[in-house]
Amino acid sequence: MFDFSGKSVIVTGGSKGVGFGISAAFLAAGADVFICGRSAPESLPHANGKTAVFHSVDVRQPEATQQLIDAVLNQSGRLDVLINNAGGSPPVAAADSSPRLTESIIRLNLIAPMILAQQAYHAMRNTGGSIINIASISGERPSPGTAAYGAAKAGLINATRSLAQEWGADQVRVNAIIAGMIKTEASHDHYGGQAGIHLIEESLPMKRMAVPDDIAHACLFLADDHAAYISGAALEVYGAGEPPSFLKLAQDAFSLRE
């Protein structure tokens, strides 16, 4: 369905989880894919006879991310797509979070993708390109236990729309994906093991969490030339969302009365 032959794609955090799936999808579509992380992975994404190129980069360091962009331009001569995927947060009560941790979370999830988007814009402004920010449902609803993360993702959604308007005349499109709960290799630790995953999935409208391919296919769609007039969008990829908890509580209460 998608052909990215001859195009260059950067995926931050592309060596595991959702980033690995995104990288493999673009490789399968013929792209040259460059991924980055703080440490080299044991295995690299590969598909269609192509393998991603890894660069050791801490995305929170603007000098390092500019070097990444320069390296991609030197190797391929162009940058067509940037996927700002790197992010995350440990669970921590807001009252117990140190100022240093709060700043670190916001730097990783908001400041870093904004600066990298700015750097990518300067590489794309003469040829056009697509920037996709991986946001989260935590940026649309309360995020207890990860308040700084939710606030950063909310800011990233807003920044996406602002950058799309600023850069539209240069044909640099900026979109966001609002991801819901995703099943990756880290899910057991994050969601309470297989029993927790089962209970969560049973509560969801589609009876399953997303998998990395769900996010990857949305990235392919937004980056494709056929989406040339889609910019400033926040595409919700979360299987109809999370039902309000009060509905289940009310249902259980009615069951007790019967």
How far is the C-alpha of 76 from the C-alpha of 157, rounded, in Å? 30
For residue 183, give the nearest of 163, 202, 164, 197 by alpha carbon: 197
Phi-psi region of 156 (alpha: psi -120 to 50; beta: other; left: phi over 0): alpha
In 6-108, beta strands by DSSP E: 8-12, 32-37, 46-47, 50-51, 53-56, 81-84
Q: How far is CA 64 from the centre of its chain?
A: 20
Question: According to DSSP H, which parts of 85-126 are helical?
Answer: 99-106, 112-124
149 catalytic per annotation: yes
How far is the C-alpha of 140 from the C-alpha of 138, rounded, in Å? 5
How far is the C-alpha of 174 from the C-alpha of 163, rounded, in Å? 7
Give yes or no for a contact between 177 and 132, defined as CB atoms under 8 angstroms apart.
yes
**Tokens standing for 95?**
């009252």
On the CB side of 55, CA atoms within 13 Å amount to 21
One of 121, 149, 191, 238 is an active-site residue; which one? 149
Give yes or no for a contact between 19 and 210, defined as CB atoms under 8 angstroms apart.
no
**Main-chain phi, psi angles of 17, to 5 degrees:** 55, -135
Active site residues: 149
